[in-house]
């Protein structure tokens, strides 16, 4: 069984959290695309979805799911999204697809965050995956220097502009022993838009797919 099939299993398992007639938040990435496809195939009719990226909006519209604005929906009962890494406290690294800012906003506005991933994303300690940080373009070098002072090795994501018109620094070697503390510290650097650490608001449920089935983890 391939990693993609593991992702699909986790995505399908998230359907049981979706209530008919509700408006839900939807993240970005290949696992989420499986979730959207599974939702479209299911008999669960939702009122619509708040999308975390242009890519997801495109995918939702392609299967006939209405895309709504967070400004008009108010808070949401459910957010479903993937992750690049997750620990057992359900703290996450996200942003591999570059959609971290809108993802963090929708996660914050949602009552329950169900994270879907293949099992390989579960780690003992966050930080093997380089931490994505979205920055205002004119602050890129300044932010990079602050990250180096903290021990990080930032690298500009090449040929990439976020849906918000910003850039991404992918940062290796940051001290990630205390994810909540680091998320707070990095978020305070002027020019940082969003840090791809989802520790202060992590997931509420983690669904991990592998060749044996789907494991559910709660903090």
> Of 103, 128, 178, 216, which one is the catalytic site residue?
103
Give the nearest distance from C-beta 214 to ligand 5RP in angstroms. Answer: 15
Least distance in Å: CB of 82 to ligand 5RP?
3
97 binds ligand 5RP (CB under 6 A): yes
3 state DSSP class of 219: coil
What does the alpha-carbon distance between residue 42 and residue 115 come to, in Å, rounded to a whole number?
19
Kind of pairing between the strands at 92-93 and 197-198: antiparallel
Q: What is the DSSP letter of 202?
A: -
Q: Any long-range contacts for 11-15 (C-beta under 8 Å, 24+ apart)?
A: 11/35, 11/37, 11/38, 11/116, 11/209, 12/38, 13/116, 13/207, 13/209, 13/214, 13/216, 14/38, 14/80, 14/114, 14/116, 14/207, 15/39, 15/42, 15/44
CA distance 59 to 76: 20
List 18, 25, 29, 206, residue binding ligand 5RP (CB under 6 A)? 29
Q: Name which of residues 65 to 84 contact ligand 5RP (CB under 6 A).
A: 81-84
> If binding is defined by CB under 6 A, does position 27 make contact with ligand 5RP?
yes
State which of residues 15, 17, 22, 30 lies at the interface with ligand 5RP (CB under 6 A).
30
95 near ligand 5RP (CB under 6 A)? yes
Of the pair 86, 182, the CB lying nearest ligand 5RP is at: 86
CB-wise, 46 or 85, nearer to ligand 5RP?
85
Alpha helices, DSSP H, located in 1-160: 3-13, 30-41, 54-62, 70-73, 100-108, 140-149
- Secondary structure letter of residue 136 according to DSSP: -
Is 155 among the catalytic positions? no
Determine, following the binding rule CB under 6 A, whether residue 96 of this chain makes contact with ligand 5RP.
Answer: yes
Binding of ligand 5RP at residue 28 (CB under 6 A)? Answer: yes
Among 13, 23, 78, 99, binds ligand 5RP (CB under 6 A): 99
Query: Is residue 100 within the footprint of ligand 5RP (CB under 6 A)?
Result: yes
23 or 168: CB nearest ligand 5RP: 168
CA distance 50 to 71: 10
- Residues lying near ligand 5RP in the complex (CB under 6 A) are found at 27-31, 81-84, 94-100, 103
> Could you list the active site residues?
103
């Amino acid at each position: 069984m391939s990693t993609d099939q593991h992702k699909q299993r986790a995505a399908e398992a998230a359907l049981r959290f979706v209530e008919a007639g509700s408006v839900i938040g939807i993240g970005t990435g290949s696992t989420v695309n499986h979730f959207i496809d599974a939702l479209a195939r299911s008999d669960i009719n939702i009122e619509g979805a708040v999308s975390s990226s242009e890519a997801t909006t495109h995918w939702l519209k392609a299967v006939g799911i209405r895309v709504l604005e967070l400004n008009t929906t108010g808070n949401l009962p459910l957010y479903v999204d993937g992750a690049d890494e997750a620990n057992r406290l359900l703290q996450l690294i996200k942003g591999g697809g570059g959609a971290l800012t809108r993802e963090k906003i929708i996660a914050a506005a949602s009552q329950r965050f169900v994270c879907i991933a293949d099992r390989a994303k579960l780690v003992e300690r966050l930080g093997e995956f380089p931490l994505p940080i979205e920055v205002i373009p004119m602050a890129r070098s300044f932010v990079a220097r602050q990250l180096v002072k903290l021990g990080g090795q930032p690298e500009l994501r090449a040929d990439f502009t976020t849906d918000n018109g910003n850039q991404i620094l992918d940062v290796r070697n940051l001290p990630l022993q205390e994810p909540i503390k680091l998320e707070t510290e990095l978020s305070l650097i002027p020019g940082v838009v969003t840090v791809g650490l989802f520790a202060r608001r992590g997931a509420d449920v983690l669904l991990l797919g592998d060749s044996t089935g789907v494991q559910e983890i709660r903090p």
